[in-house]
Amino acid sequence: MIKYEWRTRLDADEAAQLADLLDRAATYDAEPEYSTINFRDVERAMQTADSRIKLLVIWMLPHSTALGAAEEPERIAGLLRLVVDPDGSAQSAIVIDPRLRSIGITTLLLEQVGLDAAGTDGWLGTGAHTITAWAQGNHPAAGRLGDRFLIPRTQRVWKLIRSTECAQEATAAPVLEPFAAATADDTREWVDASTPGELFALREAGRVVGVIALDGHPVRSEEFGMCATITAVSAAPNAPAQARRRLLVGAAALAHEAGRSGVVVYVDSGDAAWVNACRIAGFQHDRTDVCFQFRGRR
C-alpha cells in the first residue's frame, strides 16, 4: 500500500507533487492550526545538505478505488521531517495529503518501521534516540496514534488569547519597563537571560516581580485580528496571582500601543499559577498543543 525512503533530493516531478501536497495541506489545516511543513524549508534543507534534517518521503502505491476501476498511479502521500541534534534528541513533524488521511497512512508506516530507537544508529538509522513530536491543535489522528502505539503524552500547552482593543483599559494598565536580564542580579534565578526577543518587566515596590518577552510580529486570529505574541513569561517565585495578572495586562497594553488588536500567550496547562493569572487577565482558550515523545526500544 505504501513505500517510503529517506531522500536528500527530488526530481522535478517529485518536487512538484510534494510542493502541491504541502501547499494544499497548509490551506486545509489553516483553520484548526494543525502542524505544517513549508516546502521552501524542504528545498533549503536539500540544497544545503544539512545532515541534521532527515526527510522521509512516503508514497501511495498504485491502487484501485473501486471494484473493476483502473488503478490510480503511484503518488507522494506524505512527508516526515526529523531534525536530529548531536545528543540524539530529535524533533519530528509529519504531513499527510488531506485526500488520503482517512486510510491510515501514518499508522501503516509506524506498523512497518516500528519505534525502536535504542540501537547504535537510532530510529531508522537516523541517530535519533529520543523523538519528540508536537500535535499542534491536538490533532485527533495524533491522539489515536499515541494510543495505538503507546506513545506517551509528555506535555500540553494552551494557546490563550485576548483582545487589546479597549483604549481605556490600555491607558489604565501597569506600565512595563524595558528590561535587560543580564544586568539584573535579583532575577537570575527565575529569568532566562538567553530569552530571545524584547523583554519588559513589571516593577512593584522597587523590585522586579515579573518579566515578559513580546514579539510584535502580527499573527492573524479569526476573532481578534492581528495579534502580538508573548513568547516568554516569568515571575518571582513569591509573586501573587494579581501581580502576574498585572504583568499580563501590561503586556496587552504594549501590544495595543504597537497597533495589535489582540495578544497571544502560551502556557503549560499544568501550571496552575499561570493558567489562573491568564484567566483573571481576560485570556481565553484558543488551542491545545500536545507533545508526544518516545525513546529507546519499543
Q: Distance between CA atoms of 186 and 208, rounded to whole angstroms?
A: 8
pLDDT digits (tens, 9 = 90+) for 190-219: 888 778 878 999 999 989 999 999 999 999
Average pLDDT over residues 22-31: 97
Q: Are 294 and 117 in contact (CB under 8 A)?
A: yes
pLDDT digits (tens, 9 = 90+) for 226-260: 999 999 999 999 899 999 999 999 999 999 999 99
CATH of 159-288, one of 3.40.630, 1.10.287, 1.10.12, 3.30.70: 3.40.630
CATH of domain 2-151: 3.40.630.30
Size (the chain), residues = 298
pTM (predicted TM-score): 0.89
- Cα angle for residues 7, 8, 13 (degrees, 5° grid): 70
Average pLDDT over residues 144-156: 97
Q: Distance between CA atoms of 78 and 98, rounded to whole angstroms?
A: 9
Sequence ranges of the chain with CATH classification 3.40.630.30: 2-151
Across the chain, what does the average pLDDT equal?
93
Ranked by mean pLDDT, the top range of 42-46, 47-51, 60-64 is 42-46
What does DSSP assign to residue 69? P
Q: Are 160 and 245 in contact (CB under 8 A)?
A: no
What does DSSP assign to residue 183? G
Average pLDDT over residues 44-56: 91
Q: Could you give the 3-state DSSP secondary structure of residue 272?
A: helix
Is 70 a residue whose pLDDT tops 80? no
pLDDT at 298: 46
pLDDT at 62: 86
